[in-house]
Structure 1
């Protein structure tokens, strides 16, 4: 009998944990070691449960931990769409959390009410054709002129490609097919919400490939979307059908999920990380935290030597396959005799993001919950003088993610303010919470005398990779250069969302299992 394969997974975020789970499921004899440098797993999926602070003191508090109010410091909702959405929900169900899933209906305020901050004005995005027609004639609207733009786009010839890898930025495609105004308003707001980045710099092939596919296959983005350019591929449909058919207990959960807009978990998304980690330990996967990797080297006979720990207590982990579940900028900093890995650091940059949880007592601003009855607002590139230049958006958490303790959460109105992290010197920068609260006051009309009861600020460094123009081509070359036994997984390569990371892990496990 052949020796059990040894797999080293560098990185204990959701990509690394999901990779370990799928590999162990496909190869039960595999000896898998997950190496996480920080004291905890989960990456920037982090949920905190806090108690409602006393309101007898002055000013805002950070609150006490272990209470009934859930605050998310990173992702907070998931979309049950496509194969990747099904894989994530299936993983949650396998971890035993199906009874903690909170579905948000497609007709809920969270799904129907989404806003754009444009020239200091908050504008509700249309939910039907009539509202689109109405807004196209409003000169102050972010959708001004949208109907003529759509009609003209359908008549424009597609851009001739010099080759199939010809790429451009999101801004360039939208400006070319529609208008620069649309790229600077609706599209920039969407990009701020997903990538916290600049649409003038991000690759459209890597971020919105459906737009490229629609133009090239149907001659028009609009015609392509109308004719199904965004539909699931036959290969994905077959895999999804296979997944649902194989597990009847998942089928019912998935059917409910497809009737929902988004979903979350009662105790926060980090509860999925904790449950998955517990399951990995039961499967005899060695999950190590506080174990920084200090060097990665290829050895003779196809092995890898991974040095971990401090120099005075260094340890060697030997593996047959190396799964790098950390972004390229982190991989590239590691000393290595693998030239391809050294090049990963030059692959793509990543942006810093500041997230500030802000909680108001509901009775201090009785109509605040009404004004924030939706998913949230995203700031466009067309900002007015009253809009903070670092503001990316404000999530209306109380409406967007209802929780399991309605009696307690009914006492508060929660928000998460997203800002560009480069605007702040450190996580302790006092201007971070101040600017977040000011943004809520200014755009949601909270009176100056009303103070939040809780404010928690977080600075996530290099947390969202930026897929520049040519990303798909660079990634293909990078994967070829590192060889078939080094696997690049997760948000640094194949999509920044949780669903994208889970799918990347699933595909990696299939490749490893097929090669052993």
Structure 2
């Protein structure tokens, strides 16, 4: 029997791919999924009414690259193609992305023409950033922060006003701490191997690309042909884990909710005792852990304190999410994806997503405000109330967007330790963790956002690659 820890997207995806491999290989593997709460889906949660949808976690998915196309393959296989709502290149949410600097919203350049024109808050046209890279010397490093790398290659303004807010939007983190390998591994390698980013890009044009082959579903092909920017799910993103959970149940996966695991006891290379909080002990041949690394650290601390320490060293941040609904039909916002706030602005908010522009079937204006992240404790302390977060979010929104209307509905959530931070040295640390597991012949595999990427696509692909690696051993 294989046991999956966690019923979030990582655990559900692991179950999905184990079943797929099980069916294709004619095996009779028994699967058990243990979720500590009464809900499957992790941070993906949607509140749907007749007038609006509040997404409490992720809201859109990018279809780009192997990992993005893989997700679309899975979505089609689960019968969700008709639920897709795609945002194409000509949509305002694809073209218009803003940052808030010096008490003003600025539209970021979104075309080739735009990089040759000066646009606030940048003091020069962005083409000067390209020249900066060509003239900057190479600096040999094993790793660096994404902020330092971008400042070195493209200048301080690009680091402050483009990359730092982008990191806030992606992982609620500090670009001065996050590893450049998190988002810009290939660009960093161009600098290390070729002396600069532009030089590396030009050299790569003449090299044969060894891209991973992936068979595309009809849905994935359509995304490529129509050049989707992002997409959402009609009725809310929660539909994805809901359908995945149903798929697992229909294929006889033993799915146990409200089942908290207290300890993992490794007996040998093919037996581990999964000890539940109620005293029940479940023997498994292999464990797939999709729970956060800090949670897994507690389960292995008794037998493997060194592994526990490595797992605990992956930092996480807390994010406040405030969903706001304004029922008026009067336009309150400029059509756009939303805006981000650079950390140098010292704002209590990280950014705002214009959900009524990005998500279909919304009446009125729907906004989601993100607060805190890396700076949550610094800004709000450890005992901030949801009521206070709402007050802060509404005040900021009304000031920045100049909205006078009252909020018709709202929802506030504090997502404690929800996003792992891939700080400098993250990938080496994950390598050490997996090396320890391998050297000690522990029957456990790690999937999910703690290790292989924080986005929806990354989590799903992490499950796929780990399952296939185990199956092919």
Structure 2 Cα separation of the partners of residues 480 and 199 of structure 1: 28
Q: How does 1:66-215 map to 2 (within 5 A)?
A: 67=50, 69-135=52-118, 140-142=120-122, 144=124, 146-161=126-141, 166-215=142-191
Post-superposition Cα deviations, 1:337-383, rounded to whole Å, max 9, x if no partner, equal 134541243331100001110011233xx2314x2x01010111231
- Out of 452, 465, 468, the residue aligned to residue 494 of structure 1 is 452
Q: Given the alignment of the two structures, is residue 304 of structure 1 paired with residue 272 of structure 2, yes or no?
A: yes
Structure 2 Cα separation of the partners of residues 427 and 457 of structure 1: 12
Equivalent residue, structure 1, for 2:262: 294
Q: Given the alignment of the two structures, is residue 20 of structure 1 paired with residue 15 of structure 2, yes or no?
A: yes
Secondary structure of the corresponding residue to residue 332 of structure 1:
helix
Structure 2 Cα separation of the partners of residues 109 and 394 of structure 1: 15
Secondary structure of the corresponding residue to residue 368 of structure 1:
coil
Structure 1 Cα separation of the partners of residues 175 and 418 of structure 2: 17
- Out of 368, 375, 378, the residue aligned to residue 340 of structure 2 is 378
Secondary structure of the corresponding residue to residue 62 of structure 2:
coil
Post-superposition Cα deviations, 1:224-244, rounded to whole Å, max 9, x if no partner, equal 346658x996242x1x1xx22
Structure 1 Cα separation of the partners of residues 69 and 188 of structure 2: 25
Post-superposition Cα deviations, 1:261-320, rounded to whole Å, max 9, x if no partner, equal 1111101111010001100111111121111110011013531111113xxx32112111
Structure 1 Cα separation of the partners of residues 152 and 269 of structure 2: 52
Structure 2 Cα separation of the partners of residues 37 and 206 of structure 1: 29
Q: Given the alignment of the two structures, is residue 417 of structure 1 paired with residue 369 of structure 2, yes or no?
A: yes
Structure 1 Cα separation of the partners of residues 104 and 13 of structure 2: 41
Q: How does 1:220-369 map to 2 (within 5 A)?
A: 220-225=196-201, 234-236=210-212, 238=213, 240=214, 243-244=215-216, 250=217, 252-258=218-224, 259=226, 260-300=228-268, 302-309=270-277, 313-334=278-299, 335-363=301-329, 366-369=330-333
Distance 1:40 1:426, change over 3 A: farther
Equivalent residue, structure 2, for 1:40: 39
Secondary structure of the corresponding residue to residue 382 of structure 1:
helix
Structure 2 Cα separation of the partners of residues 275 and 367 of structure 1: 35
Secondary structure of the corresponding residue to residue 343 of structure 2:
coil
Equivalent residue, structure 1, for 2:425: 470
Q: How far 1:106 moved relative to its partner?
A: 1.2
Say what the alpha-carbon RMSD is for the aligned residues. 2.0
Structure 2 Cα separation of the partners of residues 142 and 331 of structure 1: 44
Structure 2 Cα separation of the partners of residues 439 and 226 of structure 1: 44
Moved more, 463-472 or 87-96: 87-96
Equivalent residue, structure 2, for 1:53: none
CA contact (8 A) 1:426 1:459 kept: no
Structure 2 Cα separation of the partners of residues 112 and 362 of structure 1: 25
Structure 2 Cα separation of the partners of residues 195 and 232 of structure 1: 33
TM-score, normalising length from structure 2?
Answer: 0.92
Secondary structure of the corresponding residue to residue 362 of structure 1:
coil
**For structure 2, which runs of at least 5 residues remain unmatched after alignment?**
none
Structure 2 Cα separation of the partners of residues 143 and 262 of structure 1: 30
**For structure 1, which runs of at least 5 residues remain unmatched after alignment?**
1-5, 51-66, 245-249, 404-408
TM-score, normalising length from structure 1?
Answer: 0.84
Q: What is the aligned length?
A: 457
Distance 1:228 1:77, change over 3 A: farther
Structure 2 Cα separation of the partners of residues 226 and 301 of structure 1: 48
- Out of 443, 462, 469, the residue aligned to residue 511 of structure 1 is 469
Moved more, 352-361 or 140-149: 140-149
Structure 2 Cα separation of the partners of residues 233 and 321 of structure 1: 36
Secondary structure of the corresponding residue to residue 392 of structure 1:
strand
CA contact (8 A) 2:58 2:237 kept: yes
Structure 1 Cα separation of the partners of residues 123 and 163 of structure 2: 11
Secondary structure of the corresponding residue to residue 398 of structure 2:
helix
Post-superposition Cα deviations, 1:418-466, rounded to whole Å, max 9, x if no partner, equal 000434445743211111111211111112xx21101111110000101
- Out of 403, 410, 414, the residue aligned to residue 455 of structure 1 is 410
